[in-house]
Structure 1
Amino acid sequence: MKLTKILTASAMAVSGALLGGCSDGTDGEVIAATTNLVVPANATTVASVKDVPYVFASGVAELGTATATTVKFTSAGAAPAFSISSSEGAATGATTFGSCIFTVVTSTYPAIHPLAQFKIVRIANCGFQFNTAGVNAGISIPVPSFFGLGSVNSASAPVSVVMTDTGSVTVNGTVVGNVTVGVTGGTGGGG
C-alpha cells in the first residue's frame, strides 16, 4: 500500500514537471508562445520537415496539378531532394531557394507538364507555418504545420517542436526561428 502511494506521488510529480513548462517563479504561471512561427522555405527550414508529407487537396496550380498533390523533402542540405506526386504523375529532383525552385530530375508526368523531366518550376511564395501559439517553453510537443506554395496551403501535418523561454523554436531537432513569448497559466497545446 505504501509503495503504491509513493509510486503514485512520483508519477504525479513527473507529470507535473512535463506539463509545467518553464515557470517564471510565480504560482501556476509558465512562459508560452503567444504567436505562431511563420518562416520562409530555405535549407534550414526544409531540413526541419524532412520526410514530412504535405498534402494539397486540390493540387498546386504552379506545379500544374489539379488533384491531391503530396510534396515531401527527402533530404537536407543546400539543395534538398524533393518528391512530388499526384494522380497525374510523380517527380523527384533538387530544390534551391530564394523562391522555391524545383529542378525535376525524374518524372512520370507528360513532356508538356510543368513537372516533366528536366523542367524547372519557380514558386515565389513558399514557406511554413508552425502552430506554436500556446506552446509552453521547455516541452517537446507535436503541433500542426502547414506548407504554403503560391496561393495555396497544405493540409496540416504534425511536427515536434520545442521552444526555449526566449522564444527560440526547434522543429524536429532543427532551430528554425523565434516567436514572441509571454507568461501564461496554460499547459501548452499549439492547436
Structure 2
Amino acid sequence: ELMKVGEQLKSGQVYESNSALLQALLKSCGAIVKSAEHSRDDRELLIETIERGLKNHVLIISGGVSVGEHDLVQATLRSLGAKIDVWRVAIKPGKPFLFGRIGDCFVFGLPGNPVSAFVTFLQFVRPAILRMMGAANLDLPMGPAKLIADLTNGSDRPHYVRGKLEDGKFTPVGRQESHALFGLSQSNALLRVAVGESLKAGEIVNLQLWD
C-alpha cells in the first residue's frame, strides 16, 4: 500500500515517491504540471481520476499497467474508449509500458516501480513531450566514459544500467533492481547494455546523461 511522505508506515506500506519523481522530470522538459493524484485499486475511483486527467494534453499514469489482479489501468482506459498503440516494451527495467490516446489526450502508462518509471520516462515520454513542444533535439545528451566494472546482460531485453559518471569514468551504482531507489539517487547516467553483451572494465562506453 502506498502512503504519502511523512505519514506513519505500517507493515506492508511504502511511501509513494513516483509523483514527485515524475513531476521533477516533467518540469525539466519544460512541461507544466497541472495536477498529481493518487487513486486506489478501485475501478470507479480510477475512472474518475482518469477522466479529470483527460482534460490535459498529456496524462501519465504510474502503476497498475501490468496484468496482475490489481492492475486495472489498461482495462479502464479501454472502457473509456482509449486506442492503445503500444503495450509492453523490450527493455529492462520497464517492460510494463503503455501508450495510447483518448480523444485529444495522449496517455502514457508507466510501471509502478520507481526505477522502471524513471527509465521508461526518459526513453519514451521525454522525447514525445519534447516533440509535442516542437523541440528539434529529442535525445538525451550522450557522452563517452571509461567503464570501471565488468558488466554482462544475460536477460532477454536490453538493460539500462544506472551509474555515476565522474572524471570520465562510469561506475554502476547500487543494486540494479527496479525498486532500488538509492542507486538511482546516486546516479547521473545510463548505460545501455544489449542482450547477451559483455563489457569489460576499461572499455570506453557511450552514456545517456541527465544530470
Shorter chain as normaliser: what TM range? Answer: under 0.3
What TM-score, normalized by structure 2, do the two folds share?
A: 0.25
Query: Which has the larger Rg?
Result: 1
Greater share of helix: 2
Greater share of strand: 1
User: Per chain length, whose mean CA-contact separation is higher, i.e. which structure has more relative contact order (CA < 8 Å, sep 6+)?
Assistant: 1
